[in-house]
Each structure stands twice: as structure tokens, then as C-alpha cells.
Amino acid sequence: MKRSPSTPIVNLRLPVNTQGVDWICSDLHGQFPVLKEVLKEVEFNDQTDRLILLGDLIDRGPSSLETLSWVLSAPFCFSVMGNHELLFWASTYHPELIEKHLRLGGEWSSSLSLTGLAPIKPDTDTPLNCCLS
């Protein structure tokens, strides 16, 4: 698939982790208790290790909000936006997508209040183009 030149890509280059281990995980789907258990099992060190998440942090599982809050506040955690996060974000701007998000496991978000929250905006002046099929 050819990418349009107007579509921004955030390219974050992490320096080599010489102090600890880089762990990569995907598709948490709100299973925060399971993540915590696995990190404990592998003796994850939040002072030296890094956790790189490949999207789909939310929806389907019982702890989507807790998962998202933890990821956003953990300085050792890096993540890309998966299709579930994109749909959650897009539905705040396009109400016609709310029903689709709910069908895909987003019922946890129906009780959230977005009042007073700053809009999420890419760190670029280039318009964000996305496709939700």
C-alpha cells in the first residue's frame, strides 16, 4: 500500500537499552491484570527495562481504562495506536462511529466523560488521514 505524502508518521527512535531488557507485547485488549502478572513473572524492572506495546490495548477485556491509564503514565512504556485505539479516538470526533466501537468491545467507554479533556492532535501541522473500514 502506497502512503500519501500528506499522511504523517511519527517516528520515535529509542536509543539502545544498555541497562535492561526491551519487552514487546501486543493485543492486551484490556487484560491489565494479566499484563501485571506476566511482567512480575519475567521480573520486569521498571527502572531499566522498557515495554513496547504494538496496539490494541483496549476493548474486549475488563480493564481497558485501567490499562490505558497505566500505559499513558508509565515512563518506561511506549506504544503505537492499534485499530481499537484509533476507533475509540475517532468516535469522539465522529459520533457515527460510536456504535461500531461499542460492537467491537468499546462498551467500557460509554460511561466516560470527555468534558475538559484536551483534544489529541498529532505533533504536526499535516492533516491526519485515516481509514476505518
For 55-75, the pLDDT digits (tens) are 999 999 999 999 999 998 999
- 50 in any annotated domain: yes
Rounded Cα distance, 105 and 128, in Å: 25
| 60 assigned to some structural domain | yes
Over residues 1-26, the mean pLDDT reads 74
| Full residue range of the structural domain in which residue 36 is found | 22-81
**Residue 32 is assigned to a structural domain of this protein:** yes
Q: How many CB atoms lie within 10 A of CB 45?
A: 13
- When divided into structural domains, the chain yields a total of 1
Is the pLDDT at 122 greater than 70, yes or no? no
> pTM here?
0.76
**3 occurs within a structural domain:** no
Span 90-112, mean pLDDT? 89
Assess contact for 64 and 58: CB atoms under 8 A.
yes
Residue 29 is a catalytic residue? no
pLDDT over 70, % of the chain? 77
CA-wise closest residue to 86 among 28, 31, 128, 123: 128
Mean of pLDDT over the chain? 82
58 in any annotated domain:
yes
Q: Is the pLDDT of residue 127 over 50?
A: no
For the chain, give me the number of helices (H) and strands (E)? 4, 3
Is 115 domain-assigned? no
Annotated catalytic residue: which of 29, 84, 94, 101?
Answer: 84
> Domain for residue 92, yes or no?
no
Q: Bridge partners of 77? A: 51
12: confidence class by pLDDT, cuts 50, 70, 90: confident
Q: Is the dihedral of CA 80, 27, 117, 47 positive or negative?
A: negative
